[in-house]
Every structure is written in C-alpha cells, then in structure tokens.
Amino acid sequence: MWSIEMSISDSPAASSSSDDLAAFLDAELDTISDASADSEESVEEDESDDADENNSESGLERVKRRKVESSEGEGLITLRSSSSQGEQAEVLGGSSTKNTCPHPGFIAGMCMRCGKKMEDESGVALGYIHKNLRLGNDEIARVRDKDLKDLLRKKKLYLVLDLDHTLLNSARLPDITVEEGYLNGQRDSLPDLDNLKTSLFRLDWMQMMTKLRPFVHTFLKEASNLFELYIYTMGERPYALAMADLLDPGCVYFNSRIIAQGDCTQRHQKGLDVVMVQESAVIILDDTEAVWGKHKENLILMERYHFFASSCKSFGFNCKSLSELKSDESETEGALATVLKILQQIHSLFFDEERQDKLEDRDVRQVLKTIQKKVLKDCKIVFTRVIPTNFPPEHHSLWKAAEQLGATCSRELDPSVTHVVSMDAGTDKSRWALQEKKHLVHPRWIEASKYMWQKLPEENFPVSKSKDK
C-alpha cells in the first residue's frame, strides 16, 4: 500500500513576502534560548535564574542585548530586556526616539522594536509568518510598499492560490466508493491515466486521499517565473502544509507563504488583510467567489476540479466522478492550462513598456477588467426563461457576468441583438432567434465563456424545448 507520512511542525517556519522581516524575527526569538550571554551580563543572569523559575512571564522578558540586521532598512537594532520599561530600542545608523516608540509589531506580546511588554496588543495577527507575531497597520503598509517596489523591479506580481478544487481534490478515505476502490491498490497497478501514478497520494495519517490537478506542476513552475506565489485555504494548517508539500516538495514556490483557516480575521471569509501584498498587484485564483467578498475584483474564478465521487456529491452533482469513470481533466486544455495563458497575458499587459505611467501606479485589477471585456465584445444579449419575472434583470448574476465579459444586455429584441440566452427553445424570443438566424444558446454558454476567458462556440450550447410545451 502506498502512502505518505509527514510531521507538521507546530511553529511555522519564518518566511513571508518579506524574507528579511522573517529572518529578523527568527534572530530575535533565537536570543531567548541563547546560553552564551556577554560576560558582563553573566552574573546578572545567574542571579535571576531562581526568580525566573517562578516567573510566569514569557521567556521573551529575558531577551539579551543583541544586534541583528533589521528588515526595516534602518540599520542595526539593539533590543534590550523589557524588565526595565524605561529602556528604549537603540537604532544604529538611524535616529533614536526616546519614549516615542510607535510599537510597529509584537512578538508574544512584546514590542519587536523596543521590547516593552504590552497588555493590549493591536494590529493584525500574522502567525503564518512567525508564531505569536502581530503587526500594526502602519507597519504592514510600510512592508507592503517596500516589498512591492522590490518585486516590480524583478518584473513580478503576486498570485494567491486556493487549494481544494483549484489545484487539487481531496477525499476522506471512508468516503471512497466501491467504484473508486481501485485507487487503494498498489501504485504500479493504477490505470494508465495521464500522470495518475505520480499525482495520486494516500495520506493515512490524515485518513485522506489527494489527487493533484493535471498540469499543476507545469503551472506552478511557469507561474512562479511571473508571480510570487501564496497558498490561501479554508483548510486547517496541518492540511495546508501537507498539501503544500505535495505540490512543492522542494519548497521552491511557497516557502512559508501558506495561509490557513486559523489565519483569517473574519469567519468563513478570506481577505488580503493578512497577506503581505498590495491589492493593486495581486491576482487570486479560487473556485469560490463568495469567500472573497471584499476582493472580487482581484479574483479569477476557477472551474472546480471534481476527481472524487464525494466531491461531486458535496456539490449536489448526480453524476459519476472522474475517478469512477477512470478519466481525468485534460493536461493541455484543462483549467490550469487555460488560466496560465490568462496570467501570462495579464503580466504582459501590466509590464507593457509602451505604457507611459509608472509601474507603482498601475493596477492589475484594471488589467483584469480590460481582458475580461474582450471575451464577449460586440455581443448583444437578450434573456428568456432564465431570469425570474419579478427579479430586476440587471441584478441577476448572468446579466452581470455577461456585462463583465463585454457584452451588452437588453430586455427587448431588436435587429442588433446577436444572442438569445434561453432555457426553453419554445419561447417567443427563442423562436425569433431561430427565425432571424441569431444565436440561441443555453445559459451555460456565458458561464463557460467566463471560466475559459474566451467566447466558446455557440453550437456547443444548444437549447431544447421544455417538456411542458
């Protein structure tokens, strides 16, 4: 039986969009257990050992004087023990500000700059960067601004990736159906599907089976040349780290830029508030639009990957899954191959050298809208038997989607109409479309064009007459 065993550390490695910041934090935390203090401090340390045994305060209270390189570009920072709250941080190569530390962030309740213990911590928790780390909004903005400038110099943008149904599909072992039982066999006995033997994993310690989406390794390799990659999942951290290990066993793409459910600041919602990126330079790939309520303009909605039967069932699909059919998504024409072309186009337009504006002033969301508007350009659409009679059509998701793709939507028929979108070929408007040799298409035509980012052949989306007619 093939399986993968992993051990997930309780303390995530220090890495973020700012590797210097993480290195700085690691250096500071190392001082807690540093047994080789300066000789002039050794006596004081010995005298305090007994007291420390009964002290319930964090070990960070005993931080020794130590010089570490700061990620803030301010030179070298010397942190002092916070047992004397009057002492301030000394910034070598920068300016000293007595009693006015802005407390940019906290590690286990202590200011990362002056070392002062704070009872009322503020800012955003960023535990995925470093355990017990919180940064204030001003500090986050500063780090984001600095990181963006560094990234733009490398001609890169940010790409935030969902896991489930976007890059892979997972199922609980007890949910594997009888028809999927062949997946439990020896790896060599698996069907000769495209890369099935190298993209299917059984994780007994999690009672989970995971199938990587076709083309995912090529996708990550190509995308990493243009984007700095993040994982952002609603799954728990052990699951997120395990999936990252399957996708990126060499730690080439993500490092510790892995955000899980416990890092979210709002229940059932994902947000860029915990991602150290500028919103103007980030693209999001996710199969669920609703979780990105505040950042839909950054989102490219992905067609869901349903390999396992339990995945289809959870979304209410009464059909056989890919695994039950012993089939899989196309490598070359699947969702990841399609979206990679869109990402390459976005990157090219964003960094277009013929543009006159500065790179820092550009917004990837505008680039995204520009590309979307070309999908159904020159299409004029009328809906029939699709939108409820008493529902304002302009507020319907299909109407909005069509407009986002560049189409013009109308309530009435006229000679300029190019498409009638219908659920029933027997309606008056549907018959008009056939008589006037206009395109009569099923609503799935709009949905599929949205996912594929191109106007798909209308003949692939026929409309049949309702059985009630």
- Whether the per-residue pLDDT at 109 is higher than 60: the answer is yes
Show the DSSP H helices in 279-375 as ranges. Answer: 309-314, 335-350, 364-372
% residues pLDDT > 70 (the chain): 77
DSSP reduced 3-state for 1: coil
**Angle, helices 237-247/216-224, rounded to nearest 10 degrees:** 90
**How far apart are alpha carbons 139 and 113 in whole angstroms?**
11
Burial class (CB in 10 A: 0-12, 13-18, 19+), 307: buried
pTM: 0.78
What pLDDT does residue 113 have? Answer: 83
- Whether the per-residue pLDDT at 430 is higher than 50: the answer is yes
Partners of residue 170 on adjacent β-strands: 210
For residues 23 and 95, which has the higher predicted lDDT (pLDDT)? Answer: 23
Ordered DSSP codes for 215-272: THHHHHHHHHTTEEEEEE-SS-HHHHHHHHHHH-TT--S-TT-EE-GGG-SBTTB--G
Mind listing the pLDDT tens digit for each residue in 333-357?
999 999 999 999 999 999 999 998 9
- Whether the per-residue pLDDT at 148 is higher than 90: the answer is yes
Mind listing the pLDDT tens digit for each residue in 181-204?
988 877 776 776 667 888 999 999
